[in-house]
Amino acid sequence: MENTVSSEELKDETSKVQGDSVQYESDSSSSEPNHEEALITEDDLVYEKEEKTPKLVSPYDRPGKWYVVHTQSGYENKVQGNLAQRIQSMNKEDSIHEVVIPLENVVEFKQGKRVEVQKKMFPGYLLIRCRRNDDVHHMIRNTPGVTGFAGPGGKPSPLRRKEVDNFLAIKKDGDEPQRKIKPRLIYELNESVRIKEGPFADFQGEIVEINEEQLKKDNLNLNSKSLAVFLAKSKALSLADKFSKKFILGCDQICIFNDKIMSKPLNKDKAISNLKELSGNTHTLFGAYCVTKGNEIIIEHQIECEMEMRNLTDSEIEEYVALDKPLESCGAYKFEANGFKLFKSVIGSLEAINGLPFADLKELIDAKI
């Protein structure tokens, strides 16, 4: 689901069958019924064209490129309105096509009741579809409330097809995006679960615990770049005997700064210490996943992301830690919550930074399983 302002008018195209029309007129002056039979030949028949199932059209295929733009926190709708006004007043309708706030439906449980609420997928971010043009990018960057583009060094970097399709959800013409409602649930150790949707739909699973820190201590000789893959692989293989006939997905993230692994903080003080060290610097986040069956490794993959953090004051860091409570989080931040506000630029897959790159993983699963 998306909240969008578009400069393009959507027009429904309907196919029309042209042909001779046949009119049947009754003679109102005659009181006797006409018993003549009308002879219809094959040439008089008009066959309706068989309706084809509407083809799903990706937002990626629309004119222009999609970019991610930072905004001041809580001002996404205001900035969207500012951009709409500037696009109109500066006659940029042919250059800036859409300004979108990606939204998603989330199921929450409040006081024992199931409540469906709509939330922003990426608070503090907008998606803009526009031409690759320095003047256009300059106009966007100087719109009140915009703090910059998401990209290397703050330079505009277009999104990939998989990212656009995931953030905006492919939809049929006239329909709402086909995005599923995402539940927020808490699972307990040893609880049995069944995956309802996605690439692992109908898979059975069990919530188990892996001692990740012990795995790290036992393998300190490993290269830091290899550790994320090793941990993902170790997690999956550690369950091979118990679930020998099941597919097992293991995944992990590692934060590297100055060739040193930043351990996941277990308390508030460590989280603050980690963020002070990362403040104003660039670190690398490695995301890895591994799929096994028995002792066979079917899929093994790693994604590398460069993360440039803003210069943060001590009060900003303390306020953030109190807000997100990023304990046991890679890098001491939760990018998918409010952690994205800490960064000046990121290079890499947003899905990988948020946790697991499902789009990339699904491609590999479809190819190998």
Looking at the annotation, which residues are catalytic?
252
* 66, amino acid identity: W
Task: Give 336-355 as a DSSP string.
Answer: TTTGGGGEEEEES-HHHHHS
Determine the Cα angle at 343 with ends 267 and 279, to 5°. 55
Supply 83's token pair.
């951009």
On the 0-12 / 13-18 / 19+ scale of CB atoms within 10 A, 336 is: middle
Task: Give 218-230 as a DSSP string.
Answer: TTTTS-HHHHHHH
Determine if residue 335 is left, alpha or beta; phi over 0 gives left, psi from -120 to 50 gives alpha, anything else beta.
alpha
Alpha helices in the chain (DSSP H): 76-89, 134-141, 161-168, 212-217, 224-237, 268-278, 314-324, 350-354, 358-368
Angle at which helices 358-368 and 161-168 pack, to 10 degrees?
110
Task: Give 66-129 as a DSSP string.
Answer: EEEEEE-TT-HHHHHHHHHHHHHHTT-TTTEEEEEEEEEEEEEEETTEEEEEEEESSTTEEEEE
The CA distance from 162 to 361, in Å, is 11
Asked if 170 and 57 count as a contact pair (C-beta separation under 8 A), the reply is yes
Supply 223's token pair.
């290269």
Alpha helices in 144-211 (DSSP H): 161-168
The CA distance from 173 to 115, in Å, is 29
